[in-house]
Amino acid sequence: MYQLRTDTIAALATAPGTGAIAVLRLSGPDTFSIVNRLFKGKNLLEQAANTIHFGRLVHQGVTLDEVLVSLFRAPHSYTKEDVIEISCHGSPLIAGKILKALLDEGARLAEPGEYTFRAFARGRFALNEAEAVADLIAADSDMAHKHALGQLRGGFTRMLSQLREELVHFASLLELELDFSEEDVEFADRRQLLALIQRIRSTIRGLSDSFQLGQVVREGVATVIAGKPNAGKSTLLNALLKEEKAIVSDIPGTTRDVIEDVLQLGGYKFRLQDTAGLREAADAIEAIGVKRSQEKIREAALLLYVCDLSATTLPEIEAEVNSLGHPELPRLIVGNKADLLNDDQLKPYREAGVYCVSGLQGAGLQTLEQALVEAVENLGQNGEVTLTNLRHVQALNATEEALSRAEASLSSGTTADWIAQDIRQALHQLGLITGQITTDDLLENIFSKFCIGK
């Protein structure tokens, strides 16, 4: 399906439903002639690019709507083809009638992602930048928007292109050696090649490490609020969300199931999960809640462990946290009910790194919120480029493995043919990221996830 076609496509570019306006988009060689046959106003075939014109759309003698028509001529358009965008009143009925008229005049309904695929196929951007378009549309936090926009602007592509260009240079020299294998000559300086491979491997490892941060940027930080019963977990959840999301009670074991909501802090999206108190369950239903709490902790990206400062000593807090296991899980220890202690009593807790708050009165919450943001930023920042796409990470890991084999071959003095084979594999994997190398299955997997009008 995802092979470049030269017909004219049309689709609704705005979300379905009623709104102030709806936008329909056409792209392809017959775009101007199709719309011009329906448009009652200026002759669109005679108008300049990047202009907007008001008029009526009439099909089979019936006026469909008064519209604005925006003109973009190839190659100065999103798809690098002739493109027209029709802005009409936002009635689904009107938009449907206009789309039917466009199809009747010779356009074809676009496939999911076909506009962006045409832009990619015509060289507007690399494949990973096309994927960033989908990420940009789906962005639901400031950081998700920032990282998707950064990918779309091509910082990652430029980095990969530079690495690939350097590898291609040495690969060509190695291939030249193979052509002159009987002459026993070396065109590729082995020391320079080894240094290049080590540098590229280091860069790739840094990029792969950034995926931990990229994943939480894209999906939200799975943040589990855990602790003993009556520690104030639900009170803390309500205080962070600034709404009564969870039932608060002095009765232990009130929370029986996981309560979830989203908190936006510092541009990041935190998926807060209030869990049942961790203790020996009093009944079968509470036992299910405790089991779910433990499962959520295993799946978490960040843990907020809440304890009652008025009833828990520092050694007890340490013992509770250690009993959870998962020492690799980033965590913040939150001492709740700080309003019940004076400053002298709170001092040793603060010195031990406990965030002392009062979920009831709101004291200390601003410091805790800042700590949440800092905890996310420490997950794996890598300069200007942060990976958010698992496909890119898998390809980079495969690249790094191939280069590791090439490095071992260089160190052991293996012949050029083995080294060249591994470098070819590394180049292949890098090409899969940017789209210099593609397969039908790869394109299907990427572009079929787009909406039809994009």
Residues 104-122 pLDDT 10s = 999 999 999 999 999 999 9
What phi and psi values does residue 21 have, to the nearest 5 degrees?
-135, 160
Per-residue pLDDT tens over the stretch 203-219 = 898 888 888 778 777 88
Q: How many residues are recorded in the chain? A: 454
Q: Which residue has the higher pLDDT, 68 or 142?
A: 68
- pLDDT at residue 147, rounded to an integer: 77
Question: Span 295-321, mean pLDDT?
Answer: 85
CA distance linking residue 186 with residue 173, whole number of Å = 8
Query: Domains in the chain and their CATH numbers?
Result: 9-124 (3.30.1360.120), 133-210+387-435 (1.20.120.430), 216-377 (3.40.50.300)
Judge contact between 86 and 36, C-beta under 8 A.
no
Question: Span 34-56, mean pLDDT?
Answer: 95
The mean of the pLDDT values for the chain is 84
Given a cut of 60, is residue 256 above it in pLDDT?
A: no
What phi and psi values does residue 85 have, to the nearest 5 degrees?
-115, 125
- pLDDT at residue 279, rounded to an integer: 55
Q: Which residue has the higher pLDDT, 184 or 329?
A: 329
- pLDDT at residue 296, rounded to an integer: 79
Q: 402: number of CA atoms within 13 Å, CB side?
A: 22
- Strand ranges, E, within 339-401: 355-356
Strands 259-265 and 268-274: antiparallel
Per-residue pLDDT tens over the stretch 314-324 = 888 888 888 87
Distant-in-sequence, close-in-space partners of 93: CB < 8 Å, separation ≥ 6: none
Given a cut of 70, is residue 191 above it in pLDDT?
A: yes
- pLDDT at residue 225, rounded to an integer: 87
Picking from 274, 257, 276, 261, the residue whose alpha carbon sits closest to that of residue 220 is: 261
Percentage with pLDDT > 70 across the chain: 89
Q: Which residue has the higher pLDDT, 294 or 331?
A: 331
What phi and psi values does residue 173 have, to the nearest 5 degrees?
-65, -40
Per-residue pLDDT tens over the stretch 28-42 = 999 999 999 999 989
Given a cut of 90, is residue 221 above it in pLDDT?
A: no
- pLDDT at residue 79, rounded to an integer: 95
CA distance linking residue 295 with residue 273, whole number of Å = 12
